[in-house]
Each structure stands twice: as C-alpha cells, then as structure tokens.
Amino acid sequence: MAKKSLIQREKKRQKLEQKYHLIRQSLKKKIRSKIYPLSLSEKTKMREKLQSLPRNSAPTRLHRRCFLTGRPRANYRDFGLSGHVLREMVYECLLPGATRSSW
C-alpha cells in the first residue's frame, strides 16, 4: 500500500492538470500557429506565460497509480491495477476473460 500522502499529492496534481489544461493547450496552439505567425518576441512572451503556470499542472508530472493499492509502477492501463494485484485477482477468478498461464 502506498503512503496516503503520495496518493493525495497525485490527486492534487490531477486537479491542477484539469484546471490548467485549456490554458496550456491554447498557449501551445498560439505558439505553434502557422496561420497567424508570431514574431520572436511574441513567442517568448507566450512561452513565459506557459512557464508561469504551476509545475504540477503539466500532464507529464502525472503518474498512473493502482486503483486498489496506489502503487505507481507496473500498472496495466486496461485494468487500472498493478501487476501483482492483477495476478492475484486472476488466480482468484475475479477478472472475467483473463486466464492464467501454466506450463
């Protein structure tokens, strides 16, 4: 089980990312615009605005965590679970359609 403080920190990052998503997206779109090209000074102003946003609002700072344990590594996107939890659930026949391998 992951520390509760780390899980809460991740939830806070998700809220910040959602809050600033449209602002970040519009600034990036203006910087890359080829229809209305900006001068170099205007682009630097846009980049400064982009950098002035909180760091934790960037989508690259988000981690996918296990739904049950909060573990940040070895997560399967389809299930939202970490590898060892997924394996235990397959062994207990809690996931329909998933088969365990044996050799």
pLDDT of residue 20: 96
pLDDT of residue 103: 63
Quick one: 76 and 88 in the same domain?
A: yes
Quick one: 69 and 47 in the same domain?
A: no
Quick one: 4 and 27 in the same domain?
A: yes
CATH number of the domain encompassing residue 92: 4.10.830.10
pLDDT of residue 75: 92
pLDDT of residue 37: 80
pLDDT of residue 53: 95
From residue 73, how far is each of 7, 16, 58, 76, 86 by CA, in Å?
A: 13, 22, 20, 9, 13
Quick one: 69 and 51 in the same domain?
A: no
The stretches in the chain having pLDDT less than 50 are: none
Quick one: 29 and 53 in the same domain?
A: yes
- pTM of the full structure: 0.74
β-sheet bridge partners, residue 81: 76
